[in-house]
Structure 1
Amino acid sequence: MNVHTNADQIEINGVVVTATPGQRPALVDGCDTVVGLFQKRCEQLGDRTAHREKDLGIWQSYSWKDYWNHAKWIGLGLRALGMERGEVVSILSEDRKEWLYADMGIQCVGGIASGVYTTDSASQLEYLLRDSGSRFLFVENDEQLDKFLEIEDQAEHVVKVIILDQDGLHDLRHEKCVFIDELYDTGRAFEAENHGFFEEEIAKTQPGDTGLLIYTSGTTGMPKGAMLSQENVIAGCVSGAHALPTQDDDEQLCFLPLCHILERNVSAYFPIAGKSTVNFAESTETVFDNLQEVSPAHFTAVPRVWEKVYSRVLVLAQEATPLGRLCFKLAVKAGLKRADYLLERKPVPMGTKINYAVWDFLVLRNLRRMLGMDKMRRGGTGAAPISPELIRWYWAIGVQLLEGYGMTENSGIASINLPDDNKIGTVGKAVPGFDVRIAEDGEIQTFGLNNFQGYWRNNEKTAETFTDDGWLRTGDVGKVDEDGFLSITGRLKDIIITAGGKNITPAEIESRLKFSHYISDAVVIGDARKYLTCLIMIDQENVEKFAQDLKVPFSDFASLCAAQEVVDLIKKEVDEVNKDFARVEQIKDFRLINVLLTAEDEELTATMKLKRGFVEKKHAGLIEEMY
């Protein structure tokens, strides 16, 4: 089944966008490259605030003029140091304004910007630098610099390392290392002798030029560099303008890694297209505090973040007075009743409206203010399945949470639900300017200007990723219903064939398990085996609260996982999920992974996805116990 969404020229919040599937050009305000659009926005907006960032606990504002000048000095500084058009430059830093300055500066002078996750090890950094051929590397601080110094001998091709934060490095003397202020000075000096060079380089850039090199998370081996062109990014902005419209007075909060295409879109390119203001969270630990301070117009996060917010609210509700708990319960009940009408696109009865309005005034409005969601027009979720009940809960409290779908290889946006065209349990309809079809084997395939150019220096993998007629093979399995809504049911490579010859898609079972508030992740095992088993990661915060309420003794995470009451709790959750599956698809046994995993662990990618192969290998002993 094919789904096609057409998009002619249209004005959205003052931004004119144009795109039609498979046809050129994609345009935002007449610009066919992101660097050209960047120049136009900086000229238009000048002293208006582009970014905010905290310094010594106080929010500081930085204008579009600051954005332009610093990007220009970085780009010109790199060219003065010998960078050439078409060359990759790597960025190893947490989110901050300089990340975006470097990103745009590199692209404006014809370079290719490539982000490196700060959780990557020194050996992973060495692989990425070698594979990309990067001769220039931006690092945030001494911690990230240490990774380069550890592999310096294997990265002899790197000629300069630019350091963003001087703290603890004032006495550094290294022939390859310079601080960002020194690069700015080099850029200023180059500009004085080459007036207009920066603008000329922007004008040289063509839609087909590669602008980004984004390494995939490597769940099935070493990461591959996906090449995204200027046209890919602009096409993504066109899709975003239709599906995720941004207004020029919107405030946003940036906290997911800018290496990832999702955050790069919503915090770098969509704000350039929509003229909005981006606020940088201080860290992942402070994101909820920063959310309260910024109160953004829209907020996009992975399901774990939305689950974390929900868990916090439940804990606070349980700690409230009896009257407070009752009011919260009644308010959510009123919200759910209204949400069900909205989600089914039915008129809300007057009585339901009035009941909701009362409880919204008494409880829910204050709850949204406390969460920093009182000005939020919509919330976005993607990158992993999310519980339909969790989406209903957010709609109940007055936050329109919408699920979407995309991947690096199609510029991060392929389909999305809309506030007035939404179906829970799906990832929405194909975005304007893009086509989606389902192949005979159930694979989701996409076509349009969002589709990437291919993998860096890997023609063989690129050829495997496209069909003979030019469609992108996503590797995801799914279906499209009669209304055009897309559902994801799993990954082709993850399909389990049991010893009895039954084909099973584990993602469906894993997703249902992860909908439990007590389970953060799960890996179903069963390939070439008689029955299915599962390795489960518990949700630490919710399970600890459960154990404390029941006075279950535990001293650390391992002892928490070993507690019989916890094992029984998870068994109850597994049994509940099993009821919805055929006998051959049911989990017969499970084990809890009793170590807390972070992105530094080999079992998890930087985007917190479990690497199935690593998990099965590392926990082979637990698996064998179940058979």
Structure 2
Amino acid sequence: MTIAEKLPPMQTVRGHSFNQDLQRAPFYFDGCDTLVKLFRQRCQELGPKIAHREKDFGIWLAYSWTDFYEHARLIGLGLIALGLKRGEVVSILSEDNKEWIYSDLGIQSVGGIASGVYTTDSAKQLQYLVTDSDSRFLFVENDEQLDKFLSVRDQMPGLSKVVVFDRDGLHEFADDQVIFLEDLYRIGREFLKENPNRFDEEIAKSQPQDTAILVYTSGTTGPPKGAMISHSNIIASVIGSALTLPVTPDDDQVCFLPLCHILERLITVFTPIGLKSTVNFAESPETVFDNVREVSPHVFTGVPRVWEKIYSRISIMANDSTPIGRWAYRQAVKTGMKRAAALEAGDPVPAGTKLAYAFWDFMVLGNLRRMLGFDRLRRGTTGAAPISPDLLKWYKAVGITVLEGYGMTESSGVISINLLEDSKNGSVGKVVPGSQVRISPEGEIQYKGANVFKGYWNKPDKTAETISEDGWLKTGDVGRIDNQGFLFVTGRVKDIIITAGGKNITPAEIENRLKFSPYISDAVVIGDKRKFLSCLIMIDQENVEKFAQDRKVPFNNFKSLCAAQEVRDLIGSVVDETNREFARVEQIKDFRLIDVLLTAEDEELTATMKLKRSFVEQKHKPLIDEMYG
């Protein structure tokens, strides 16, 4: 019997075939039931075509699908030669680059399990992740990340070898446990000569139920847990992308979110392999906006903080322009808002609004999109944290469509997503085709689909807590589904505030409204078992500094900036404006500014720049106590 005869009924969308029945495993995408089989097929099919680009000395260089395959093969075979066995874990500690995905696919292709580590993690966190995952090998980007390993190496006895991508600053370095990537390539070439078919043989051994990757949770409620994502989960996620957020072989996209996060892994590794798009690696998190202008991507995904930052920059630039420039910007956005309101309501855009929008689009908004690098953008997407509906309205007004989606590590990516042709602002869209969502009696969102993870690595008790007795993934989020099937996430179960008066409040909506201000980067509403709501606020450094400089407010550091009365009055006015949109019991009666500049290295922030509520409340307890007398 041929492979084709074994496949379940297929359907074809945009040239790709996959299972018609997404409830029945195994799942096939273009005839492949594992990611590595699909990877090999794509590389053979596309060969010299561009798979990805990366900057070197200021110049964008292109790398083909053949390059992708050959480098992954050498890495995989090199690891086998060094003793890697199927089912063993290899950790990767690096910023986004081509070597990250070469290692990722090389590891998976020979039956290993790839596990990413955030570059912002400390040496102690690295030690925990390597030890918890039983990693046999560790890839690190450079001397900075190597130093983390060296400082805790005695606490990681199971680690066999460390492979360093970048030799800069390490030319004189020698250590029996450390080799460089070129050494691994050499070992792989020597092994290839003796075993020319081994790589393809290992790929053929891959099974849908095999664990392909480990993705560690952010650890906001305890030690991070390694979510086991199978090849079947990944193939189901690629099918979901093809049905909801497709890309084409002509599309360019930019990779800049951490690749160890499931969202970027889906966007930069899984989906491009499935749908053949081209990935452009940003030089660094600090150069993202410059790189976006250079690439002018067709699709772009960012966490809410990225979209908030873009909006803040434009707001400040508009305020700094000439009087006529400010007037033109306001008129353009005002007209765009009218057009967006009509489109959102499903009504035809009035002829006058349509004509006015065409004028302002030509005069202002088109130039704005070109300046941002979004002149070719067909679709923006956002996820990983809540985003303000007002912010999405603003983007729609300036001609940029940003679609909000929802998912989690344990769902291998997307649970629901708004579509270009079917969206509702404020919602996270409709559930991915072939999957199901239900709301529990307690109001929790629960999910069932082919992309639900296998469980937590070596933690069956935690897995049992996350999967209901009848097989549904318990998301930990509170939400509702409207009569059109759109899902709304209103907060976290553990974040619900019950005031002293017995009123239940989900703080996410209040926090999102505050974050729409260009002067506020994040906020945590407090009030559980309290008489009223208060708030801890983190200001946007760049924009508030500009505000202070324009008004000649003296300050010499971030702490003194937060202490300035003019700054407190500024934030107070934002809080007052926000309060007008909520019932009295939901209004913020007092606030304090967090006067420490936080980065992803700080325990209060996740790698996607979300404040961890429990850490913030614990670390800034004196500020909270001060507000409640």
- Fold match (TM-score > 0.5): yes
Q: What amino acid is aligned across from residue 276 of structure 2 in structure 1? A: K
Which residue in the other structure is 2:77 paired with? 76
**Does 1:470 find its partner at 2:460?**
no
Q: How far does residue 22 in structure 1 lie from its aligned partner after superposition?
A: 3.0
Map Cα deviations across residues 221-279 of structure 1 (whole Å, 9 max, x no partner).
11110010001111111111111111001111000000100111111111111101100
Report if aligned partners of 2:11, 2:20 keep a CA contact under 8 Å in 1: no
Asked which structure has the greater RCO (Cα within 8 Å, sep 6+), the reply is 1
Q: Aligned partners of 2:118 and 2:310: how far apart in 1?
A: 24
Which residue in the other structure is 1:554 paired with? 555
Alignment of 1:194-233 (within 5 A): 194-233=195-234
Q: How far does residue 19 in structure 1 lie from its aligned partner after superposition?
A: 5.2
Q: Aligned partners of 1:385 and 1:119: how far apart in 2?
A: 22
**Does 1:393 find its partner at 2:418?**
no
Report if aligned partners of 1:50, 1:67 keep a CA contact under 8 Å in 2: yes
Which residue in the other structure is 2:582 paired with? 581
Which residue in the other structure is 2:136 paired with? 135
Query: Does the C-alpha gap of structure 1 residues 510 and 321 become closer, same or farther in structure 2, counting only changes over 3 Å?
Result: closer
Q: Matched residue of 2:475: which SS?
A: strand
Q: Matched residue of 1:279: which SS?
A: strand
Which residue in the other structure is 1:3 paired with? none
Query: Does the C-alpha gap of structure 1 residues 133 and 477 become closer, same or farther in structure 2, counting only changes over 3 Å?
Result: same
**Does 1:247 find its partner at 2:253?**
no
Report if aligned partners of 1:385, 1:511 keep a CA contact under 8 Å in 2: yes
Which residue in the other structure is 1:360 paired with? 361
Q: Aligned partners of 2:272 and 2:429: how far apart in 1?
A: 23
Q: What amino acid is aligned across from residue 460 of structure 1 in structure 2? A: D
Report if aligned partners of 2:91, 2:137 keep a CA contact under 8 Å in 1: yes
Structure 2 stretches lacking a partner, 5+ long: 1-7
Query: Does the C-alpha gap of structure 1 residues 515 and 366 become closer, same or farther in structure 2, counting only changes over 3 Å?
Result: closer
Query: Does the C-alpha gap of structure 1 residues 201 and 503 become closer, same or farther in structure 2, counting only changes over 3 Å?
Result: same
Report if aligned partners of 2:229, 2:453 keep a CA contact under 8 Å in 1: yes
Alignment of 1:292-311 (within 5 A): 292-311=293-312
Q: How far does residue 8 in structure 1 lie from its aligned partner after superposition?
A: 8.3
Report if aligned partners of 1:13, 1:246 keep a CA contact under 8 Å in 2: no
Q: Aligned partners of 1:239 and 1:593: how far apart in 2?
A: 40
Q: What amino acid is aligned across from residue 614 of structure 1 in structure 2? A: F
Report if aligned partners of 1:590, 1:626 keep a CA contact under 8 Å in 2: yes
Q: Matched residue of 1:213: which SS?
A: strand
**How big is the alpha-carbon RMSD for the aligned residues of Structure 1 and Structure 2?**
1.5
Report if aligned partners of 1:19, 1:238 keep a CA contact under 8 Å in 2: no
**Does 1:340 find its partner at 2:341?**
yes
Map Cα deviations across residues 335-381 of structure 1 (whole Å, 9 max, x no partner).
22222222223222333222222222222222211111011100011
Map Cα deviations across residues 157-211 of structure 1 (whole Å, 9 max, x no partner).
1110000000011111100111101101111111111121111111111111000
Report if aligned partners of 1:522, 1:536 keep a CA contact under 8 Å in 2: yes
Map Cα deviations across residues 429-465 of structure 1 (whole Å, 9 max, x no partner).
1011211111110100010101111100000000010
Map Cα deviations across residues 389-444 of structure 1 (whole Å, 9 max, x no partner).
21112112211111110100001101111112111011111011211111110100
**Does 1:286 find its partner at 2:316?**
no
Which residue in the other structure is 2:90 paired with? 89
Report if aligned partners of 1:20, 1:434 keep a CA contact under 8 Å in 2: no
Alignment of 1:455-534 (within 5 A): 455-534=456-535
Q: Aligned partners of 1:315 and 1:501: how far apart in 2?
A: 41
Which residue in the other structure is 2:429 paired with? 428
Map Cα deviations across residues 553-585 of structure 1 (whole Å, 9 max, x no partner).
222211111111211222222223223333333
Q: What amino acid is aligned across from residue 345 of structure 1 in structure 2? A: G
Q: How far does residue 534 in structure 1 lie from its aligned partner after superposition?
A: 1.4
Query: Does the C-alpha gap of structure 1 residues 8 and 555 become closer, same or farther in structure 2, counting only changes over 3 Å?
Result: farther
Q: Matched residue of 2:286: which SS?
A: coil
Which residue in the other structure is 1:33 paired with? 34
Query: Does the C-alpha gap of structure 1 residues 316 and 506 become closer, same or farther in structure 2, counting only changes over 3 Å?
Result: closer
Report if aligned partners of 1:19, 1:433 keep a CA contact under 8 Å in 2: no
TM-score by length of 2: 0.96
Query: Does the C-alpha gap of structure 1 residues 168 and 232 become closer, same or farther in structure 2, counting only changes over 3 Å?
Result: same
Moved more, 132-141 or 557-566: 557-566
Alignment coverage as a number of residue pairs: 621
Q: Aligned partners of 1:39 and 1:247: how far apart in 2?
A: 19
Which residue in the other structure is 2:381 paired with? 380
Q: Aligned partners of 1:17 and 1:313: how far apart in 2?
A: 42
Q: Aligned partners of 2:270 and 2:578: how far apart in 1?
A: 40
Q: What amino acid is aligned across from residue 544 of structure 1 in structure 2? A: E
**Does 1:624 find its partner at 2:625?**
yes
Q: Matched residue of 1:575: which SS?
A: helix
Which residue in the other structure is 1:405 paired with? 406
**Does 1:186 find its partner at 2:182?**
no
Q: Matched residue of 1:151: which SS?
A: helix
Which residue in the other structure is 2:3 paired with? none
Q: Matched residue of 2:26: which SS?
A: strand
Q: Aligned partners of 1:19 and 1:426: how far apart in 2?
A: 27
Report if aligned partners of 2:445, 2:474 keep a CA contact under 8 Å in 1: yes
Which residue in the other structure is 2:47 paired with? 46
Q: What amino acid is aligned across from residue 101 of structure 1 in structure 2? A: Y
Q: Matched residue of 1:118: which SS?
A: coil
Which residue in the other structure is 1:441 paired with? 442
Q: What amino acid is aligned across from residue 360 of structure 1 in structure 2? A: D
Q: How far does residue 31 in structure 1 lie from its aligned partner after superposition?
A: 1.2
Which residue in the other structure is 2:540 paired with? 539
Which residue in the other structure is 1:271 paired with? 272
Identity of paired residues, percent? 65
Q: What amino acid is aligned across from residue 27 of structure 1 in structure 2? A: Y
